[in-house]
Structures are given as C-alpha cells and as structure tokens.
Amino acid sequence: MNRKALLAVVMIATSMGYADAQSSNIAQHKSVSGFPVIDSNPFEYVVDGNDVSCWYLPEAVRTKYIEIDLDGEYRVDRVLLKNLNGIHDIRILARIDDRLTEVFKGGMPYSHLITFDPVKVKAIRLEFNKEPKVHGHKADVYIGEIEVYAYEPQPVMVNQTGYNTLGAKRFTAPLAVDGTSFKVVDSTDAVVFSGTIAKGVGDFSNFRPDIPGPYWVEVRGDDLGRSFPFRIEPYLMERASYFPAMAFMADTRCWYGNADEYTPTEAGPGCPFLGVAWRDSHQFSFELPVLISMYFANPQAFSRDRMPEQSLYRGLREDLPAETPEIVKMIYWAVDIYLKGEVNHTLLKSQLAWFVYAWPHLSEYIPRRVYDEAVAYLFPIWGNSEKGRWHWHDIDHSADLFQTYTILGSGKGQFPPGFSIIPNLMMYEVAKRENRKDADRFFEAAYKQTAWLITNLDWRDPATTKGQRMNEYITLDALSYFLKKYPKRAPKRLAAKLSSWADVAIERADNYWDYRKYAADQWTIPDIRYPDDPKFNPHGSFNEVGNIAGFPVPALAAAWAIEKYDADRTKADRLRVMATAHIDHVFGRNPNGRHFSYDAVHDFEGADLGWFREYDGGAGMLQTARGVLDGSVKEPAYPYHPYGGDPGHTEGWVTFNTAWIMALAYQAADVTSIEFTEVNSDEIARKIPKEGRVGVRLHAPLNLDPNKKEKAFVQVIHGTTGEVAKLALEEKGVNGHYFDGELDVHQLPFSVAPGTPLTVCYGLEHFRASSEIVFN
C-alpha cells in the first residue's frame, strides 16, 4: 500500500489511469530479471507501480543489473527512476534480440529522468557498477520504481483528469502544424468530435457530452499522437481538487494536528519546521484568508456529509460541535494557535482580521468568546510597529498596518503588494460592528494603499506580477475586493487598473500553452532575489508551482471587473480560458506532460503521470502529506523541449497549495449563479405570480458525488425585514449541472405581502451569488 494511504484516515483519491497514451509507463507489471538473485529482495518491486516497495542493491557484488522485458518492441527514449537512494552512476543498455547496445552511461541527473536518442528495444537493462555510498558512507541503496517511456513523435498534452462540461477544453500538440486534424474518440474508438490544430492548440470546448467518458484526443500528422484518457463531467475538476486540497491542509499542520505540547515563546512557536500553525509555512502562506475564502465561495461543499472529517484536532481550547465542517476546524486551528502565541507579525495580524470579520458566518460552530478574545487582542496591536512573533525570510518594515506600504517583496513571495487592503477593510467593518469611533481610520488606510498601487505599480514590470511568485494573487484579490464591496467609494481608475493587468497577461499568454509568461523573452521567474540584486540571475528558473496554480485568482478577478465595467465579454472570456489553462498546466498540459504532484496517480482522480521526484525531507516534511504540488516546468523545457535541461529544484510548500486553494475559491464563485424560473419550466421568471409559487435554480460546484443525487440549500431573504429562511434544492438528475427547487411564499416562516421583493442567494460576502424577484 502507498505510504500516503497508510497514514490517511480516508483514502480520498482513486487512480483512473489507462495504458493507451504513448507517454504511459510501458515497464509496469512486465517481466523482470537481474543479478544477483536474492529471494527476499525481488526484482519485481521496481515494476509493481508502487515506489514504496524497493529493490535494494546488494553490496556483495560489484556489478549489479536489472533487466525489464517490455513484452514487445518499442522506440524508447526515457527512463525514470523513482524513490532512489545512493545511486550516483548508471549504465543503460537496450536489448534487441540477443544484442545489448549502450544508450546511456554517466551520473544520475537531478530529476532522475535519463533521456537518450530513440532506440528500438524489446528490453531495457540498468547496470550499477560503482560501490554504492550515500554522503561518503555506506548506506542502504535502493530503487523504488523504474519507469520506461516510448518516444512521442506527435505529443498530445491534455489535462489528465479531464474537463468540466461547460468549461474551456483545450489541449496542446506542440509539434503539429497548423491545419492538422484532430479527433476526440471514446472507448469504442468512435469519433465524437473533430477539429483542426491552430498554433499548436486544439479546442473542443463545444463538445459537451452527457456521457463522462473516458475520451482521448488523437492528432494525425506525419505520425499519430494519442493523449492520456480523460473525462468530461459537470464540476469534475472541483471533485478532483477539493479533497486533496483539504487533505493537504490537514496533513501539513504543525505537530501533525496534535497541539497538546504547543508551548510558544519569544523565540518561536514551538513548531519545529519553520511555521506557526502549518509546517514550513513561515508568516506568508495566508492560510486563514484562503480557507475563509474557500468557505465563502462554496460553503456547502464542505459539509460533513460531502466531506467527512479525516484528521486530528487536539490541544485546542475549544471543542467544536460534532457537525462542524473540517474546513471550519482548520480555521479555528489557526485562530487558537495564533491567539495563544500572541502573534504580532504584520501578516499574521492580517490573517486574524479575516477571522473576526468572518466570525458571524462561523458562529454556529465557533463560540463567541473566541471572537471576543480575537477582537480584544487585535485592535490594540493593529498600529504597533513590533513584529517579533514570528517571521522567516522577512524584509525590513514596520508592522503598523495603518501605513501605506511603498515596498514590494521579492520572488520569495514574503511581502506582496496590497496585502493590507482587505484586512483593513475588514477591520473597518468589524470596528463598525463593535461601535468603535476609529472605524474610518481602517478604511482610510485601505484607500490610501489602493491609490498608491494604482499610481505606482507598473504591470509591465514582472516584479509586480509573476515576480511575486506564488503570492501574486494577493494583489489582484485585494483590488477586486475593494471594487466589489465599495464600488462608489473606491479610488478612481481602480477598474482600469485591473483591466490593464489583463492586457499585459493576455499579451504574454499568446502561446500554445495559453500560459502567461514572466516577460516577452522569459517564461518562468528567473530568480527569487530582487532584480537589482547583483546576484540576480536573469537567465535562471525557479520552482513556481504556486504562481501557476494560483493564476486563476488574478485572471478571474480581472475578468469580473472587465465584464462589469468595460462590458468586454471577449476579453473576460479570454481570461477565463487562461485561468482554466493554468490549472490544466498543473494537471499535465505542459511541456513535461506531467502532473505537478509527485504522487498524483494516488492523490488526484484521473491523473496518469506525476512529477519527476519529490523533495526528501525539508522543513515541511511533506512526504506523507496528500495533495502536495511538488514541482513545475522550468525555463529550459519551454516552449517544448521536455527532456532538455534540468527540471530544477522540486519541493512542495504550503504557500504553493494555499495559492491553489484561493484559485479554487475564485473558480467556484465564477461558475456559481442563481435564478428564478417558471414552475416546471426552464424559462426565466420575472415575478412571482399571485399563486405564490416560483422555481429556483442554482448552478454551483456541489455535485461532488457522481453516483448520487445530492441536495443544496439556498437562503431566501425578505427584502423589507431582512428575515431569512432556508430553501432545499435537489440535483437535476444524477451527476447533474444544477439544483432545482420550488419557492412557495405561503410556506415561508415569515409573511410576504404583495409588492415585497425576495432575494435568493448562495455563497457568502463578496462571493455571494443572488437574484431578486417581486411577489406580484
């Protein structure tokens, strides 16, 4: 059993891989032999599909080899060794009949991916001749898995999991010439959609099948290319993402979820891995903002019936009710640890502002005394300059959050521009709720900070966008939040600022990956130092998982503003295509053709091929965590050179996954809508007839079980008194797109007089979708 499954309370992901794609591992479960033969150390461990079962290289003989019979003839050009230790040199030979030909001899690449010119083979032999050593000392030397891949003359990169039925569906065929035909085929090889390639991209967005698949894309040029299998379903990507996203946040907490021994001091919080509530999180992972945003955007997705609790929550001062959603328990986990630790760092204070603002929506589960403690703690320290509890990789600044910050963080992501805007706006609302006389001071701070960004940020300078790495999303989230919540009080040119960000992003995404580049002549962030640092390497390449996974946030924030204020649907829709494409990039539509998670096949539904390797050790200790996004494509592989260059540093990080979770929140909000319909009809209702009955339809990512007809609940709000009722809706069919119900004004728990407006809504705060109608 995979090591993730051993530690998981609930196994949340299933593999739906197929062996049809050219880039599938052709060595798995094949016959294997070698030398020396040791019964207790079977060679089959390297082809069993599980990199935890390892073949240990014996010390007794100098030359050791292992040979995999591929059960057929293939043109092979790649061998990947997974979960290995102590192997520094290797020789690879290709067997045709009884003849062995050397195809590689040398040191082990960092990626553990060995590439060579395509060669016809029936078997692959790996030889190990040198005395195995680790850090100069004899130690266990082993290989967990050997994967062998065939040459791809016509590569076809898709989202390995698949696509949402109503969303963009694009793939990349980087070697196909314009006009090359493609077809989408089902499991019977029947053609269900066809089209042509343009600039390396195939688009089948108009294919909206009722049958989920599997499907494949085939591209016929000089050679036939066939993609990995994928599925097309309503809200497939939410179903494939929510569970690993939440599992990651549960698995990566400090003390593995048991805070019994939490003893914070001035020196540190006691989490031994460079974090406060999450391992290796530092102070700039923004856990509370992203968890609260995810809950705001799609609260019922995290109900206990849809997402059962799977982790420990020990050592906290409050025992929350049994029905508390786990995402709310995670929120309280951070709040309790921050308050007990008396955090005073700029960014940690800002996180607590999200909690006190959101608490009324969480009060069903988190007691008022927690809110009161947070309010009493937070207001007195908001303007204090001290920030000693706690920080890592910080830059010199004052923690006084009333000031206008004129400094930007580096590519480390530790100080993104505009981070204080939303917290100040939230504190403004909390101050009014608490009848404080200083409420306006918070609004003024947010206003001045926003105005400074509008005037001083140059979107053409990548230091303000992709150069912020995983935390670029913070800036656009803040600007759009201000505009959504205070459209009449926002600084001038705010909508235009969001639109101008989009202009630069669209320009830099004009490529066959729909991928927003760092600059015109650079694909990835080259260095995490400041560009004016003498040591800045303009030609480098850094791990930027979070920037790619988090890209839907700025893209959809800008799309909303453009649609509302510019009425430019074409521009907004291009941003939506780019947002989807960046998640596709994470899920395999990239030059390496790999999902960004090393354990993708185990942790993500439908994934076929995970990242090259995972980081061994590290401050986050992520090897046993589920849903880790480990590595991203580096500069040498773009635009398409999948075996060229080292894929660079690979290491998951809480800050990468939190950016992705915020993207999930924005994507949920973007596809959520609610409307009134005529009873038993799809026609939009303009008013409630005197009989008092009207249909309600909700589109939201709540179809998380494709085999079950699920329920959803929306709020009905009296337009005059503000009274609230709950209305149950039912999924239309099984694995459906929307939820339907009927509102009868005479059955509401409050009276509705003729002429009274009623509002139905789903979601919370700035992510609330609503519709209003009048009872005739």
Inter-CA distances, 215 with 207, 227, 577, 680, 729, Å: 11, 9, 21, 34, 31
**390 cis-preceded (ω within 30 degrees of 0):** yes
Question: Which sign, positive or negative, has the C-alpha torsion 630, 636, 641, 643?
Answer: negative
pLDDT band of residue 222 (cuts 50, 70, 90) is confident
pLDDT, mean of residues 704-721:
96
- Asked whether the predicted pLDDT for residue 376 surpasses 80, the reply is yes
State the pTM of this model. 0.93
pLDDT computed for residue 417 by the predictor: 98
- Asked whether the predicted pLDDT for residue 505 surpasses 90, the reply is yes
Inter-CA distances, 375 with 89, 291, 355, 370, Å: 60, 20, 10, 9
pLDDT, mean of residues 395-414:
95
Quote the mean pLDDT of the chain. Answer: 93
DSSP 508-567: HT-STT----SBTTBSS---SS-TTSTT--TT-----HHHHHTTHHHHHHHHHHIIIII-
Q: Which fold has domain 672-774?
A: Immunoglobulin-like (2.60.40)
pLDDT band of residue 602 (cuts 50, 70, 90) is very high
pLDDT computed for residue 484 by the predictor: 98
Pick the CATH number of 24-150 from 3.40.50.300, 3.50.4.10, 2.60.120.260, 3.20.20.70: 2.60.120.260
Q: For the domain 162-233, what is the CATH superfamily, name and number?
A: Immunoglobulins (2.60.40.10)
157 versus 2: which is more confidently predicted?
157
pLDDT computed for residue 483 by the predictor: 98
pLDDT, mean of residues 417-427:
99
Q: d(Cα 684, Cα 749) in Å, to the nearest integer?
A: 25
Contact status, residue 536 vs residue 522, Cβ threshold 8 Å: no
CB neighbours (10 Å) of residue 514? 22
Inter-CA distances, 198 with 172, 181, 204, 569, Å: 10, 10, 12, 22
- Asked whether the predicted pLDDT for residue 84 surpasses 60, the reply is yes
Locate all alpha helices (DSSP H) within 36-149, ordered by sequence. Answer: none
698 versus 58: which is more confidently predicted?
698
Contact status, residue 506 vs residue 448, Cβ threshold 8 Å: no
381 closest CA partner among 336, 337, 426, 346: 346
Domain ranges of the chain: 24-150, 162-233, 252-407+418-456, 672-774
CB neighbours (10 Å) of residue 715? 17
- Asked whether the predicted pLDDT for residue 470 surpasses 90, the reply is yes
128 versus 236: which is more confidently predicted?
236
pLDDT computed for residue 551 by the predictor: 99
CB neighbours (10 Å) of residue 416? 22
Main-chain phi, psi angles of 224, to 5 degrees: -95, 125
pLDDT band of residue 15 (cuts 50, 70, 90) is very low
273 versus 500: which is more confidently predicted?
500
Q: d(Cα 666, Cα 35) in Å, to the nearest integer?
A: 54
Which residues fall within 8 angstroms of residue 32, CB to CB, at 6 or more apart?
Answer: 43, 44, 46, 47, 66, 67, 68, 69
pLDDT computed for residue 18 by the predictor: 33
Q: What percentage of the chain carries pLDDT values higher than 90? A: 83
pLDDT computed for residue 133 by the predictor: 53
468 closest CA partner among 387, 386, 384, 407: 407
pLDDT computed for residue 232 by the predictor: 98
Place of tokens 């026609």: 683
Task: Provide the token pair at 618.
Answer: 């590290």
Contact status, residue 276 vs residue 348, Cβ threshold 8 Å: yes
| Domain 24-150 matches domain 162-233 at the CATH topology level | no
pLDDT band of residue 131 (cuts 50, 70, 90) is low
Which residue(s) pair with 773 in the sheet?
758
Q: What percentage of the chain carries pLDDT values higher than 70? A: 95
pLDDT computed for residue 10 by the predictor: 32
Q: d(Cα 122, Cα 119) in Å, to the nearest integer?
A: 10
Q: d(Cα 549, Cα 659) in Å, to the nearest integer?
A: 7
124 closest CA partner among 79, 102, 94, 147: 94
